[in-house]
Structure 1
């Protein structure tokens, strides 16, 4: 995951601010494009960009731009996985990801698990999207649910980045909701991995 990897493109927020300011009114477009890169190149840290997006553009604008970058990156990853094939994807995806997510993809609860995983920032793994692209899971269904789920990730980073109160009832309830979603994911992961995947591919 990119969360724990330092970001070599912009070591601090001020450098990113200066970079974006140089583009004037095009700054939101440039930010979205640049913030998509660490979603596709997974060792890079998308969280750094997302938090900076909230700080530089405010909560609502930041939420939209973070969501767009995450969604665009997910779409690119999915179709790259489909286009490149398993042999190529295996060269940069960890073996542990293959074994772990192959079982998950086979579950008839796969789409529910994916929604909850992409909803909760610490659980989201962009390498997973490449692996889903290798499967027979319906593209429209998968991309629809993760597009909706990314709202949760974008909300979290935009809220934190914009400096809003962590004690706000809205934020506290949202964090509790994400924690509950994380627990559900954990329980679903423990379900029988050999369940049919027909429900996800039909």
Structure 2
């Protein structure tokens, strides 16, 4: 019951944060805001990178809004680069921490209430099925999956390959949504919606395959 409440509150917070980000950017004006962002130079994408990185290291923090923000502020190409690099670095960090230091340190990052989710994912034998591991890394559980896989016997090379594939397939969706919302591009929005639908199907399939 407590876990379900946390899950609901997390998604409510994500929704509110996304709406707030969109409202603030639209009110300020995307072009004017981008001009201000350009003045920060490399620090602007570095800040968004840091926010996204932290949201994956500490999974209770929402990261979706930062992917949308990256698409809105930097455009699709640069925004995707920032998010992809942040996810590659953070998920690699999660895997390394779990593999090198074990369950105790992972629990410090995710908290006792969310450690159960990491344990459940680790019990689904993702290390035995590359496609199943890739599918889970494409879902919203990817931050927990990175920790869970690190606690298994999965080879480093297999994990990195699955992570790269998942990033190439899933990460453009939210960035495209951000670019579409702030630039008024129906093409980006359509791509994001279709992609999100596809990821939803993948999520349903992998969860069904791992149900006891």
**TM-score range normalised by the length of the shorter chain:** 0.7 to 0.9
Q: Is the 8 A contact 2:75 2:179 kept in 1?
A: yes
Q: 1:133 aligns with which of 142, 147, 150?
A: 150
Aligned residue for 2:207?
186
Aligned residue for 1:104?
124
User: In the TM superposition, what whole-angstrom CA distance separates every residue of 1:45-98 from its partner, at most 9, and x where no partner exists?
Assistant: 111111100110111211121111111110111101122212332342524314
Within 2, Cα distance between the matches of 1:78 and 1:186?
A: 21
Please report how far the alpha carbon of residue 177 of structure 1 lies from its aligned counterpart in structure 2 after TM superposition.
Answer: 2.8
Question: Which secondary structure does the structure 2 equivalent of 1:112 belong to?
Answer: helix
1:159 paired to 2:176: yes
Please report how far the alpha carbon of residue 21 of structure 1 lies from its aligned counterpart in structure 2 after TM superposition.
Answer: 5.1
1:117 paired to 2:136: yes
Aligned residue for 1:43?
60
TM-score normalized with structure 1 length: 0.74
Structure 2 vs 1, CA of residues 31 and 172 (structure 1 numbering), >3 Å: closer, same or farther? closer
CA root-mean-square deviation: 3.3
Aligned residue for 2:51?
34
After superposing on structure 2, the runs of 4+ consecutive aligned residues of structure 1 that deviate more than 3 Å are 11-15, 17-22, 166-173
Structure 2 vs 1, CA of residues 52 and 188 (structure 1 numbering), >3 Å: closer, same or farther? same
Q: Is the 8 A contact 2:52 2:67 kept in 1?
A: yes
Q: Is the 8 A contact 1:54 1:62 kept in 2?
A: yes
Structure 2 vs 1, CA of residues 143 and 107 (structure 1 numbering), >3 Å: closer, same or farther? closer
Q: Is the 8 A contact 1:98 1:131 kept in 2?
A: yes
Q: Is the 8 A contact 1:51 1:161 kept in 2?
A: yes
TM-score normalized with structure 2 length: 0.71
Within 1, Cα distance between the matches of 2:39 and 2:190?
A: 37
Within 1, Cα distance between the matches of 2:55 and 2:69?
A: 14
Q: Is the 8 A contact 1:3 1:46 kept in 2?
A: no
Q: 1:58 aligns with which of 45, 62, 75?
A: 75
Aligned residue for 1:200?
none
Within 1, Cα distance between the matches of 2:21 and 2:56?
A: 19
Moved more, 175-184 or 125-134: 175-184
Q: Higher relative CO (CA 8 A, sep ≥ 6), structure 1 or 2?
A: 1
